[in-house]
Amino acid sequence: MRYIFSKKTLLFFISFLLASLLLVSCIASFIPVRIFPLLAFLSLVVPVLVVGNIIFLGYWLLKWNKRLFVPLLSLGISYIAFGPLLRLENHTQPISDKEDELTVMTFNTGRYRDDIEAYKNEESNPLLSFLSKRSPDILCLQESSRYRHKFLKQYPYKYVTPKSSTKSLQGIFSKYPIVTGGSLEFSETANNAIYADIVYKNDTIRIYNLHLQSFKIIPGRIKRSKNPFRFYNRMETTFLKQEKQSITFNKHFKSCPYQKIVCADLNNTPFSYAYRLVKDDLIDTFDEKGSGFGMTYDINILPFRIDFIFVDKEMSVKSHENFKIKLSDHEPVMSSVQF
């Protein structure tokens, strides 16, 4: 019995499917989740689609087959839409203590296990030791603890989630005076955004610390769902909450009269609609000075970059650094800017 499809036809079908999905993902980042929720899932697998298209491009190229234009076109358009997935040039300068540069770090410490005894000696506490060594001018922590905050003595100024709030604890710590702060108070969630206005070089800068809705995926424990419809509904609900929170943030952000820096755990990728809303007209410091995949979340499957530092377009990005340390399921990100 003859096969209906030849091997070459089957491979082309797979190649065409991967190319089509990658092209659709480029469009999906512009389409609100509430209009077409299914498209939002593509934002999570863009790296897989890119790698798949690169493999088929190489295959068709070796075969010198005109079908190579299918993945080539898809990769070209995705490059225009998203930029390179992997940044090979490490053109960043080491983050320094230059007085004319402002250093900023964002870090979700949610899965850091506090050893209360270790706080008696900073050098024996890995987290405090790391923060003391890097000592950014501005430090934004998500999912932190008030006990931990007591030991960040290098920061004379801070704004943290109010004690009366039911939201997860976030903090903005500064070496420069904070004149005011506030909370956006996202509804129906423990996630939130806080902000603080700091005085730097006789000017006022607004620092946002943003934490969007989580998918509640625990690294190393991802299993095939016994109920795929339930899994889909949970994911869709998260996407919709992220969109609603991003819209709330964007409205608040646009009303701010100062230059802005946004430290964010978006719980989503640079290929998502939420990313586009939050970034708005700001600069992603990884795009300017980052290298590699920029992975910030250890999920053991994909190089997820879900933690970001965005800065005002009037600022000059001097450096960007991802720290490969295992203190949390997230990895800290640090940048320096000049303006």
Neighbouring-strand partners of residue 249: none
Residue 1 has a pLDDT of: 44
Pairing of strands 138-142, 192-200: unpaired
The 10s digit of each residue's pLDDT in 97-142 is: 667 899 999 999 886 766 555 555 656 678 888 988 999 999 999 9
Contacts of 230 (CB under 8 A, 6+ apart): none
The 10s digit of each residue's pLDDT in 151-164 is: 888 999 999 998 88
The model scores a pTM over 0.85: yes
- pLDDT, averaged in runs of 10, over the chain (339 residues): 67 92 90 89 89 91 89 92 75 60 93 60 76 93 85 92 86 96 90 95 95 73 60 86 95 94 95 94 94 81 86 94 88 94
